[in-house]
Amino acid sequence: MTIPFENLSIHCGERISMNLELIFNKLVRSKRGGWCLESNYLFGWVLRAMGFNATTLGASVYSSILNAYFPGENHLINRVIVDGKAYITDVSFGVSSQVWEPLELISEKDQPQAAGVFCLTNNGDMWVLEKSSRKPVVMNPDFAKSTLVNRKEKYVLYRFTLTHQTNIWVIKMTASNKPVLTLHQQIHLLFANTHRVQSSGGMDLQ
């Protein structure tokens, strides 16, 4: 089966829980899609249940609008060891930057995939994931010089450490609709001051 990226629960007023059983019911039994936190959390559990040495990690997504990383950790990924090599898996990063295959955890190595060329860079304690886009092909010469053509060659997606993630975060929308994120022992996600999301067990990510 395939599980698509889906954030409908946020917009439809549904409660989002990081309880593993509830996530399994939603994504597997009900055949729904999952938000990045849900899908990667579930995938980490699947890897460990299959006997893989997998660790769930927290990541901070880069905002191209703010030209800065969102504060705190607002994304989940998994590190898995296969045949002595470490890989990063991310089964639920939305829009056009999906990581379709595991990325070898090695610094400054281009790793081509169908979605583009990905590269991990180790900056001391922090790892950064970037994506290089394919060169745009503009068929209409009159449009070739338009500012609407995306000529940016490399994008920063997110950064992360290799520290096992046992604490998650707070996300709430302020009156200006700008997200404010801080680290917390449980997940409390507040959207537009009306939609509350809390963890209710199943938080052992080891």
* pLDDT at 124 > cutoff 80: yes
| pTM exceeding 0.85 | no
The SS3 call for residue 164 is: strand
CA distance 147 to 96: 20
- CA 123 to CA 172: how far, in whole Å? 29
Burial of 134 (0-12, 13-18, 19+ CB in 10 A): exposed
**Overall fold of domain 16-138+148-167:** Arylamine N-acetyltransferase fold (3.30.2140)
pLDDT digits (tens, 9 = 90+) for 144-170: 677 766 666 788 999 999 987 655 543
Catalytic site positions: 36, 75, 90
Provide CB contacts within 8 A for 149, sequence distance 6+.
Answer: 136, 138, 143
CB 107 within 8 A of CB 123: no
* Model confidence pLDDT, tens digit, residues 104-116: 999 999 999 988 8
Q: In the chain, which residue ranges form alpha helices assigned H by DSSP?
A: 8-11, 20-24, 36-49
pLDDT one-digit tens code per residue, 36-70: 888 999 999 999 999 999 999 999 999 988 889 98
